[in-house]
Structure 1
Amino acid sequence: MAQYTVLIVDDDVKLVQLLQTYFNKEGFITYTAGDGLDALIAVRERKPDIMVLDLMLPGLDGYEVCKKIRRDSDIPIIMLTARDEESDRLVGLEIGADDYVTKPFSPKEVVARVKAILRRANKEVIRKEPIKAGGLTIDFERHQVLNGSQEIELTPTEFKLLEILASNAGRVFTRLQIVEQTQGYTFEGYERTIDAHIKNLRRKLEPNPKKPTYIQTVYGIGYKFTGDSNE
């Protein structure tokens, strides 16, 4: 595995040191930040490959950090949260996080999640012709989505989800099938987070997210991509 850089953002010094130990053993270069403002500075100056971000930070919390970063960066973000409510985790995903881990957690699990996301983000692309649907152009080799001539910024998870659906236009995927193909693993409760990623994709891709034409819901089953925006 290539040597990647990870930014760990948490105000719990012992937890940060523990995660550093595990990441360093796996060959990662680690950077750390103890609050939201330092995290924003580290992202700008260090340009890490991925960020592990605690939501409950002093001052600028993790939600605000994530929103600010997503304005101009698609760096993968894994949230760390002690909150048990599913709605809190979904909010984090809706503002642009790629994954989440609920405290208390195994450091090995965090490292495994990070590796899985980096594999998806850096996986060698099998040559595919770009897909055109309505005003969209999905270029797999360039990892790029255009709406007309305007590029649409997607996170690695969002792009992978779109790739799965668009490459199989008309096929209905269950949430579990989407989880397995985007994450490479499953765990209890994660199927619900697919709805948050779909919501983000619709907001970015659809002329009217409330009346989607590209990514359609098949009630009681899951989602499908329609190759014609006028369908």
Structure 2
Amino acid sequence: MTGHRVLIVDDEPQILRFLKPSLVAAGYEVVAAATGGEALKAAATRAPDVIVLDLGLPDMDGKDVIRELRTWCKTPILVLSARDREAEKIAALDLGADDYINKPFGIGELTARLRTALRHAAQASGEQSRFQSGALEIDVLAHSVTWAGVPLKLTPKEFDLLAVLVRNAGRVVTHRQILTAVWGPAHTEDLQYLRVFIGQLRQKLRTTSGAPEFILTEPGIGYRLAAE
């Protein structure tokens, strides 16, 4: 299991019927959207790790979706389209797409491109993906959290929240930054929602009475994962 969430944006039902089971079998969680509007909403609310985008959408051009996403989102975008003109590829890439795959395509090529895009995104971020403090070990890329070697069960949102803190271990992450990264820009004011999830996460990480507090509160600002 990769633990990564893929947003597929395509209005062709046959493409979705082919892609979804193939990607699920490869270990990805799949979210689907059939229009540009649905894609923008899903990108804001579902926090995908990578987006696979068709350019020919019924309500707007896929390039406009890329343009809008790049005003607030750094998620890797792989364009998947039957448009094979070089000008279309250049335009999509110039707007911020990370890769371009022509239809028809093979699932092996697509999954290889997905792995590459995710790897490049992790490297380009300059942020760490592993955290260890005493018996606690977190590996964001492997999607694992263990205490003394025993896996801890987290919900997907709890893990997404923890991943944001791990990538910024030792640094303060503001409420707005966390809410945008985990729930999308539509939820930047939902502080109580964030506090509830932080409380749940702290309870699960506090596995023994003598365990230290890993998630520190910066009053009025946000949270910080304590780094050794």
With normalisation by structure 2, the TM-score equals 0.53
SS of aligned partner of 2:110: helix
Q: Deviations over 1:116-171 (max 9, x none)?
A: 111222249699xxxxxxxxxxxxx98xxxxxxxxxxxxxxxxxxxxxxxxxxxxx
Question: Does structure 1 residue 109 correspond to structure 2 residue 123?
Answer: no
1:83 Cα shift? 1.4
Residue-pair matches, total: 129
Q: Structure 1: state its 5+ residue gaps.
A: 128-140, 143-231
Counterpart code for 2:86: E
1:84 Cα shift? 2.0
> Which structure is larger by alpha-carbon Rg, 1 or 2?
2
Counterpart code for 1:14: Q
SS of aligned partner of 2:11: coil
Q: What are the residue-to-residue correspondences of 1:215-230 with 2, within 5 Å?
A: none
1:122 maps to 122
The answer to whether the 8 A contact 1:18-1:107 is kept is no
Report the Cα distance in structure 2 between the residues aligned to 1:103 and 1:126, rounded to whole angstroms: 34
The answer to whether the 8 A contact 1:51-1:75 is kept is yes
The answer to whether the 8 A contact 1:22-1:111 is kept is no
Report the Cα distance in structure 2 between the residues aligned to 1:125 and 1:55, rounded to whole angstroms: 30
The answer to whether the 8 A contact 1:9-1:32 is kept is yes
Report the Cα distance in structure 1 between the residues aligned to 2:88 and 2:117, rounded to whole angstroms: 21
Summarize the Cα distance change of 1:106–1:38 in structure 2 as closer, same or farther, 3 Å threshold: same
1:79 Cα shift? 0.3
Report the Cα distance in structure 1 between the residues aligned to 2:7 and 2:74, rounded to whole angstroms: 14
Structure 1 residue ranges, 4+ long, deviating more than 2 angstroms after superposition: 122-127
Report the Cα distance in structure 2 between the residues aligned to 1:2 and 1:19, rounded to whole angstroms: 16
Q: What are the residue-to-residue correspondences of 1:17-166 with 2, within 5 Å?
A: 17-123=17-123
Summarize the Cα distance change of 1:27–1:95 in structure 2 as closer, same or farther, 3 Å threshold: same
Q: Deviations over 1:23-49 (max 9, x none)?
A: 101110000000100000000110100
Report the Cα distance in structure 2 between the residues aligned to 1:9 and 1:83, rounded to whole angstroms: 15
SS of aligned partner of 1:56: coil
SS of aligned partner of 1:108: helix
Q: Deviations over 1:156-210 (max 9, x none)?
A: xxxxxxxxxxxxxxxxxxxxxxxxxxxxxxxxxxxxxxxxxxxxxxxxxxxxxxx
With normalisation by structure 1, the TM-score equals 0.52
Report the Cα distance in structure 1 between the residues aligned to 2:112 and 2:62, rounded to whole angstroms: 21
SS of aligned partner of 1:73: coil
Report the Cα distance in structure 2 between the residues aligned to 1:73 and 1:15, rounded to whole angstroms: 25
